[in-house]
Amino acid sequence: MSAIDRLFEQCRREQRKALMPFVTAGDPDLAFTQALVRELARQGGDLCELGIPYSDPIADGPVIQASFTRALAQHVRLDDIFHAIAEVAPGVSMPLVTMVSYSIIHRQGLEQYVARAQAAGLAGAIVPDLLVEESGPLRAICRRADFSLIQLVTPTTPRERAIRIAHASTGFVYYVSVTGITGERAALPPQIVDNVAELRSHTTLPICIGFGISQPAHVRMLAPVADGLIVGSAIVRRVAEAAQRPRGDILREVGQYVAELAAALRQAEREATRVR
């Protein structure tokens, strides 16, 4: 079992859901990213996604795009990111995965990317721009290495294709809650619940929901149907203030925010247990 498989097996035993924060690696620098990962783990994060800065992101909204631009302006490179992850991964219990463009993986070489990522302590990769039709070579490498390859299903993905993506994924299936790009939303579409229920009938993998989740109300809404909830832009927006304010303050505020979401998730789980 991969580290992600073990996480969700533990969540099933404990009848709880995973809280999965996203941060941009290298924004504002890698030392801050390391400190932030440690803080997220302390405050209830179960799995952390590390966005690899890329000059032409596919589905990221302005908040995450801006964070990529800031990191690239600091000349953050993949070698630096792997080195920073290798330093922080042994000290946190939550699995770490990258959100990474396939072009970066392809440029490194598929075998080399997976080997280097595992050596750094990473448990998997989310590759949003990798078509399921073209994912076979990377899937084979990841399966041999027990390295999770997480793929995305969106609200507009045709049913048969969504099933194919779910069958091709390992670790978990990333369900995109809204049509469009990443970013905080005041409200989420109510049809998410039915869409996830339909997808769940075709896969035994955990289904984790991302895009737009930023409030305790969102957590309470989605906890009954999701195995994990992914929070990105709301965290990255808070980190953006690190250049103007003391970094210790930013770390505490982000940690408090994640702790509030974790508390909302635990409350939703308790309510679900009482209903059963």
Which CATH number covers residue 69?
3.20.20.70
The closest of 134, 85, 133 to 105, measured between CA atoms, is 134
25-72 tens-digit pLDDT: 999 999 999 999 999 999 999 999 999 999 876 656 688 889 999 999
Q: Is the pLDDT of residue 187 over 60?
A: no
Choose, from 5, 27, 46, 60, the residue flagged as catalytic: 60
Closest CA to 221 of 181, 268, 174: 268
Residue 79 backbone class (left: φ over 0; alpha: ψ -120 to 50; beta: rest): alpha
Given this model, what pLDDT does residue 59 score? 58
| pLDDT given for residue 184 in this prediction | 44
Q: What is the mean pLDDT of the chain?
A: 90
Q: Please name the helix (run of DSSP H) or strand (run of DSSP E) that holds residue 48, with its range, or none.
A: strand 48-51
Q: What is the dihedral of CA 192, 221, 228, 186, to 10 degrees?
A: 80
Domain that holds residue 231: 3-275
User: Cβ-count burial of 76 within 10 angstroms (0-12 exposed, 13-18 middle, 19+ buried)?
Assistant: buried
Are the C-beta atoms of 81 and 97 separated by less than 8 Å?
Answer: no
Catalytic pick among 27, 39, 49, 227: 49
Q: Phi/psi of residue 201, each to 5°? A: -70, -5
Asked whether the predicted pLDDT for residue 223 surpasses 50, the reply is: yes
Six-digit token string for 229: 């909830």
Residue 96 β-bridge partners:
48
CA 166 to CA 172: how far, in whole Å?
A: 8
Told to judge if 49 belongs to the known catalytic residues of this protein, a careful annotator would answer: yes
Question: Phi/psi at 13 (nearest 5 deg)?
Answer: -60, -40
pLDDT of residue 180 exceeding 80: no
Place of tokens 């299936």: 173
3-class secondary structure, 98 = strand
Q: What's the structural domain count of the chain?
A: 1
- Over range 92-120, report the average pLDDT: 97
Q: What is the pLDDT of residues 167-178, one digit of tens each?
A: 999 999 999 876
Q: From the CB of residue 53, how many other CB atoms can be counted at a distance below 10 Å? A: 26
* 227 is an active site residue: no
Helix ranges (H only) for 173-246 are: 192-200, 216-222, 233-239
Reply yes or no on whether the pLDDT at 216 is more than 70.
yes
Give the per-residue pLDDT at 274. Answer: 64
